[in-house]
Structures are given as structure tokens and as C-alpha cells.
Amino acid sequence: MAFTAIQMALFVTILGFISFVFGILAENKKLQSGTPIEGKDVVICSYPSNPFVALGYLSFAFLIASTVVGYLSLFYPYKGKSIPQSILFKNTSFLVFFNIALFTAGLGAALTLWPTFDEQHHQKNKVYPSSTSECPTAKTGLLGGAAFVSLDSSLFWLVALMLASNVRDDYFGDTENEYDPHARNLFSIEGKCRPGLVVWEDAASWLEKFQASKRLRSLDVPRPLPVRHKFQALCLGPLQTMAVTVKKMALIVTFLGVLSFVFGVIAENKKPASATPVVGKNVVICKYQSDMTVIFGYLSVGFLAASSFIGLLSLFYPYKGKCVPGGAFFRSSNFVVFFNIALFTSGLAAALLLWPTLTEQFHILRNVHRNLKTECPTAKTGLLGGGAFVSLDASLFWLVALMLADNAREDYFEELENSSRGECDQINNGEPHANASSSKETV
């Protein structure tokens, strides 16, 4: 049966999403603790029946299936054409995201199996020493984090598949240019043609344009062709002298994303499991231990916002002083997909980080309760850890979008140069552009 790259991508996505769903369900079904029953010099823990272990194994199975299909999709002979693996691994971008996909798949498997094995062990070995006061359960939050990592793993396999398809097209010579640049211009000086981009400011009046055209004619230079897409000249001034490259932007985005991840994980580990209730006169005062959860949570959100802002800026920044119309980027379906994924994961990470941070701050500030049966609450466990992983993933997706934007930028200027060279040949052969001649007659 012949498969296409789109079908393979759908299989990987569906399997990864199912693994994510089972992981979230397992996390929600996990028991907080068992019931200790005192026996003769022992404590027997009684655990109610729950599907945590079964859901954990199902999540792991679908993660493995997604990983296997993702791996096979990279080297599958589409249309009966196989490509040597060495050709794929010569591409640096493919090699990087191939290893990222493998790493996230392994990390997702480890985070899924760890709490699943622990819970299964606790349910089988229920007898503990008499000094045991609480019946243990698997660590909270691991399966929830594993669910997000499993979903991310499938997305990274899609990135690797996209890069493999590009390498395959280049190898077989079937690459098609999907860009059609509009903002281009051509003018000749002393018989030498060169491409140029004439950009008028939106606020420029018709008179200023007319005077500019007269100055050009006084230099015996044909009037520039009108630009189809007129946008503000962003490439002038200090931007041309700033030594900002794509690699530097990528490093900044990655560094900020890692900082957000680190602070999120620290905040999760520092979060107190509970507070100490102090009964007063008709009130209960919850005494919380001094911790840095709220501060680390806000730091994680701050670095996430910085990473997302730099990631968004890096896509449209005029590198080397060269502007590219936004339409040239959004004509690429791959760029549109991963641009929206980066935006979505950034928003999701911000929500997962802010929710427990604000909740914890609310509990600390309002610690006096009139309900004498109140149990001192804390923020939900696992959200900060999951938000930390999603924050790191968001920075990686900004890198994917930046890579695709860089490809679109190179294709745009290559097509611009080729188009200008073709029109230049017409002028040198005595066939001036029709628009240029007509515009000169009308002025």
C-alpha cells in the first residue's frame, strides 16, 4: 500500500494525541493516598480500584506507536523512490530535529513509565512497617508532564518529516518555488542593470513622488516601476548597522526558553504540599511555609514572555537591512502551521504557569478562613511543571518557525534576483519594460 507524507503525518499526529489524552486521564485518576490499616507490627495500605496503571500503559503504547510511525515516515520510499539515509543526515536542520524528536520521545516514555511502575508497585506491595503513617502513591504531576512531552514528540516528528520531504525534493530535483514576490523594481544606470527595491513611505504625497521622478529623469535614469506592495521603509537607519543574525536570534530565544523552563521546574519543586491550620476564635488561620514558589513562577512567566517576544520579532526582523513583505512568509503553509503552533504553545504555557502562581499567591494573602472545617489549600500540583515543559517547547517551535522564515526569505530574494535579471536582459536588448515607457510618457 502506497502512503503519502500527509497520511504519515496524520498517523503520527493522531497517535501522539491519543497518547496525550490517555496521559491526562491517568493523571486525573491518580489517587492522592491510600488508606492505612494497622495490623500486627505492620501497616496494610488499602488502595481503591482505579484505572491509573492501565491508562498509563495505554499512553506509553500509543507514544511508542507514534514514535515508530514517525521514524518510518522519514525514510519511507514515497512514490517508490527511496533516498539514501546519508543524504538526509547531511542536512543540519534535519539532523537537529531528528535528535530532538528522539530525545523527546525517550523523555516522554521515561516520564510515563516511572509513575506507572511506581503505582503498580505500591498496589502490589501493600504491607509496610508499623512506623508508616501515610500510604505512598506515585509522584503527582509526572504523567501530566509526560502527556505534554508525548504530544510534543509527535509534533517534532512532523518537523523532521517536513525537513526530510524538503531534502527529498532537492535530491530528486522536484523542488518548486512557491513564492511569487511582488515588491520589486528595476532601473538602469549607464547600461548596467541592477535590481532595486523602491519603497515610498505611506505618508508621502503625490507631489513628492512626482518631484522624485523628475530628479530621476534629470539624471537620465528611467523612472522606477511602481511597487505593487508599498510598505513603510523599515530597513533604513540603524537597523542596517546592527549585527543581528538568525543564529544570534535563535540563541537568545533558546536561552530565554531554557531559563523559563528552569524557573518553572524549581517553582514546582518548591511548592508546599499543604499548610498548617491554626484554629483561632471562630476562624482558621492557615500558616504557609516560607517558599519562593510565587517568585519563581513569575520569573518563569517573564522569561517565557521575553522568549516569545524575541521569537516573534526574529521572524520578521530585516536581517542585513533587507525587508521582506509579510505575505512572502505566510504563503508557505509550513510556516503558517508552525507559526500558529508557536503562538498557541506560548499562550498555553503562560496559562499553565500563571494559574498556579496566582492561586498560590491568593492562598498566601488570604489565609484566614471562617469555616472551621477548612483544609488549608495550595495550588494544584503539577501545573507549574507542565507549564515549564510547554514553555521550553514554545521556544523550540519559535526556532522551527524561524528556520522556515529564513528559508522563505532566501527563496524570496532568489526569486527577486532572477526576475530582475530577466527584465534586465530585455532592457539591454532594446526592449524596455512596457510599464516604464508608459509611465515616462505620462509624466
pLDDT at 311: 93
When pLDDT is cut at 50, 70 and 90, the band that residue 422 belongs to is: low
Q: Is the pLDDT of residue 187 over 50?
A: no
Average pLDDT over residues 157-165: 89
Task: Say yes or no to pLDDT of 439 above 50.
Answer: no
- The beta-carbon contacts of 187-194 under 8 Å, at least 24 apart in sequence, are 187/216, 187/221, 187/222, 187/223, 187/224, 187/225, 188/221, 188/222, 188/424, 188/427, 189/221, 191/428, 193/420, 193/421, 193/423, 193/424, 193/425, 193/427, 193/428, 194/420, 194/424
Check if the beta carbon of residue 138 is closer than 8 Å to that of residue 30: yes
Check whether 238 has a pLDDT greater than 70.
no
Among the residue ranges 4-18, 311-325, 414-428, the one predicted with the least confidence is: 414-428
Q: How confident is the model at residue 425 (pLDDT cuts 50, 70, 90)?
A: low
DSSP count for the chain of H helices, then E strands: 12, 8
pLDDT of residue 423: 55
CB atoms within 10 A of CB 53: 21
- Give the H or E element holding residue 98: helix 92-124
Does pLDDT of 93 surpass 80? yes
Residue 210 confidence (pLDDT): 46
User: Which among 260, 226, 74, 32 is positioned nearest to 159, based on CA atoms?
Assistant: 74
- Residue 276 DSSP SS3: strand
How does residue 40 score in pLDDT terms, banded at 50, 70 and 90?
confident
Give me the pLDDT at residue 285, please.
82
Cell of 18: 491519543
pLDDT score for 296: 92
Read off the pLDDT of each residue in 226-234 and give the average, rounded to a whole number: 38
Partnered with residue 368 across adjacent β-strands are 285
Going from N- to C-terminal start, the domains of the chain cover 1-175, 185-236, 241-443
For residue 289, count CB atoms less than 10 angstroms from its CB and return exposed for 0-12, middle for 13-18, buried for 19 or more: exposed
Residue 354: pLDDT band by 50, 70, 90 thresholds?
Answer: very high
Dihedral sign (CA 8, 11, 13, 15): negative
Report CA 244 to chain centroid distance, whole Å.
22
- Please tell me the distance from the alpha carbon of residue 185 to that of residue 194, in angstroms, as a whole number: 9
Q: Between vectors from CA 157 to CA 154 and to CA 160, what angle results, nearest 5°?
A: 160
- Residue 303 corresponds to which cell in the numbers above? 522569561
Mean per-residue pLDDT over the chain, rounded: 77
CA distance linking residue 327 with residue 181, whole number of Å: 9
Tell me the percentage of the chain whose pLDDT exceeds 90: 26
For 39, the 3-state DSSP assignment is coil
- In angstroms, the CA 60 to CA 56 distance is 6
Whole-number Å distance between alpha carbons of 325 and 416: 12
How many residues are there in the chain? 443
Closest alpha carbon to 132 in 244, 35, 217, 54:
35
Range with top average pLDDT, 163-167, 202-206, 262-266: 262-266
User: How many CA atoms does the CB half-sphere of 239 hold within 13 Å?
Assistant: 12
